[in-house]
A and B are shown apart, each in its own frame.
Chain A
Amino acid sequence: MSDDKGRDGQMIRMRQIRKVYSTGRVEVEALRGIDLDIPRNEYVAIVGPSGSGKSTLMNIIGCLDTPSSGEYVLSGETVGGLDRNRLAEIRNRHIGFVFQNFNLLPYASALENVELPLLFAGVSARERRERAAAMLEKVELQDRMEHKPTELSGGQMQRVAIARALVNEPAIILADEPTGNLDSGSGKGIVGLFGDLHANGQTIVMITHDSAVAKLARRVVQIRDGQITEDRTVAA
């Protein structure tokens, strides 16, 4: 299981994070010195227009990508100079991803999709099944366990994805436009689910351009041109 906190009590601690993409001769600086601390049980929305660098920031927070420079400590573990295997382990143990387009395996049942992170964590088959089933119950899909993603509605698919994100008890849930592909009704349900998770102590980082969704977070971080332009905490 993951450490709850870093040394200074932060779940995420970023100092002067830079990310430079070079496409041929042109160098694009996607992130230009990000300083960001996210404590445990925070509910943060990262907002910004497209091209602002928020996706790049999300990739780095999620350990899908590594910064060009700067320091990133996730749950007490310095991410930087780690190889692909270590990054995979960190993603597996500390991060629960929720994507805009759900990213479920199309041929696997809801239960099998939720089991996936446990499979890579080396959990036994029986325990995988039990934990995945319990998690699907938590998102109120106990009667959809054997359904394939194509047999589920968008809201249901996203709830399967959330169950998958939660199943390995990650340090943070990292959600990328989680309501982007949903109708407003389903979107509200998902946002409500995030609220419940937060109320139960889950740290959540959500990337969104939907200001209505962002308003529900406790804290909103605004990104523009690769820099944080605004960081405000909303009263609960």
Chain B
Amino acid sequence: MTSLAFIRQMLQDVRHQKMRTLLTLFGITWGTVSVSLLVSFGEALEKRIRKNQAGLGDGIVIAWPARTSIPWQGLGKGRPIKVNEEDIDALRREIPNAVFSGEYSESTKAFRRERVRLTPEISANNPVFAVMRNIIPAAGGRYVNDLDVDRRRRVVFLGDKLKTDLFGEQDAVGKTVMIDNIPFLVIGVMEAKAQDSSYSGRDKDKAFIPGATFQGLFSERYVSNFVFQAKTMADVPAVTRQVYEVLARRKNFDPADKEAIGMWDTTEGEKFFRTFFGVFRAFLAIIGSFTLMVGGIGVSNIMYVVVEERTREIGVKLAVGAKPGFILRQFLAETLTLTAVGGLIGFAITLGVMAVFPASLDEYVGTPEASPVVLLTTTLLLGLIGGVAGYFPARRASLLDPVVALKLS
């Protein structure tokens, strides 16, 4: 039995069942659209929210030196803990699998640019801060670099909103802003980003300058807070414990005193987020699968009718020597082909919906796209449902008694 003849015979069979074929296709097409759209919408929403979350940073921990809450080696509780650049350097030395940046925050310095006066939030920090916090310079600019820190350069990187407030639509890079009457060179403007959480205002409203410059100009010895990022999410608990140990040793407090250094572990949210979206995605996939399954039941029903109607034909084929396996494969392949064609049409419709999906909604629900996950989920489900839907009618056909099928007796 050549496969070419097999396909030819199948096409012949399908050609003579046009109406049925169309109805069958509709069920599968509808199911495919449901599955692929739901899964891609779920993915898009997750990506959107992840992007918004990433506005604060990727798996970072923000630490605020505070006051001790446990007496330690004869020292009372309530002692303020202050952290300076040397302490941050010690953390860098002793905890190699994480990066650190101190941050000085200040919002009393007057910014002046021509007639505009503002007092935005200043964040003074190190180059690695931008990496941790997903601050990306727009084309034509750059963030604070190591040389800026070493030489205590008077340079400023502006949040996109702040830049507009100060410069309007004009280009800002290369121009000068007065901060407390000291001229600062604008070296870059932040690429607009979504940010759904913050601890001292949105980055778009802030001005970023080198930590050392801030220290030197404004005589600040201690950081307001510091930010760190472990190499992998799994390292976060160990790195956090080490941070407490190192600082407790240097600052003389109980390493178990969690209140001495307040921490916001943004990876806690990530864990919840991951679980939530795992469940959410499964939920959408299940709803879609049920729709597709209903389509599959339709296919199965129609194939039962087809088998019923073609009983005599099956009888003839069996009489002239078709093996039951051939009949089984013929009907199974027919169902699978129908399913595949229905699926392809459904997928084309899904792509169409994606193409006309309004860009204005991207900010809220993201943009659904035909990702590998969507493709794989849909294809696997289609194959599974087509196989199951086709198997039972095909099996009935193959088990027909040729005598009965030919209505001989």
Contact = CB atoms under 8 A, between A and B. Distances in A.
A60 to B, nearest CB: 10
Contact of A64 (B13, B16, B402): B402
A85 B403 CA distance: 15
Contact of B321 (A65, A121, A176): A121
B271 interface: no
Interface in B283-334: 312-313, 315-326
A122 B6 CA distance: 11
A30 B322 CA distance: 27
Given A85-B325, A88-B324, 11 more contacts: A55-B409, A64-B318, A64-B408, A84-B323, A84-B324, A85-B323, A89-B321, A89-B323, A107-B13, A117-B320, A119-B5
Interface in A98-126: 99, 103-108, 112, 116-117, 119-122, 124-125
Contact of B408 (A55, A91, A104): A55
Interface string A77-106: 000000011001101110001010001111
Given A119-B5, A124-B2, A88 B403 contact: no
Contacts of A84: 323-324
Contacts of A116: 316-317, 320
A62 interface: yes
B380 interface: no
Interface of A: 55-56, 58-59, 62, 64-65, 84-85, 88-89, 91-93, 97, 99, 103-108, 112, 116-117, 119-122, 124-125, 164, 168, 176
A124 B408 CA distance: 31
Contacts of B318: 64, 88, 91
A103 B322 contact: no
Contacts of A91: 318-321
Given A108-B12, A125-B5, A64 B403 contact: yes
B356 to A, nearest CB: 41
B116 interface: no
A147 B362 CA distance: 60
Contacts of A59: 403, 408-409
B323 A99 contact: no
A105 B324 contact: no
B145 to A, nearest CB: 72
A103 B2 contact: no
Q: Which 10 A-B pairs have the closest CB atoms?
A: A92-B321, A120-B321, A117-B320, A88-B323, A107-B16, A103-B316, A64-B402, A85-B323, A64-B403, A120-B322
23 contacts: A55-B408, A55-B409, A59-B408, A59-B409, A64-B319, A85-B324, A88-B323, A91-B318, A91-B320, A91-B321, A92-B321, A97-B319, A99-B408, A103-B316, A103-B319, A107-B16, A112-B12, A117-B321, A119-B5, A119-B9, A120-B323, A125-B4, A176-B408
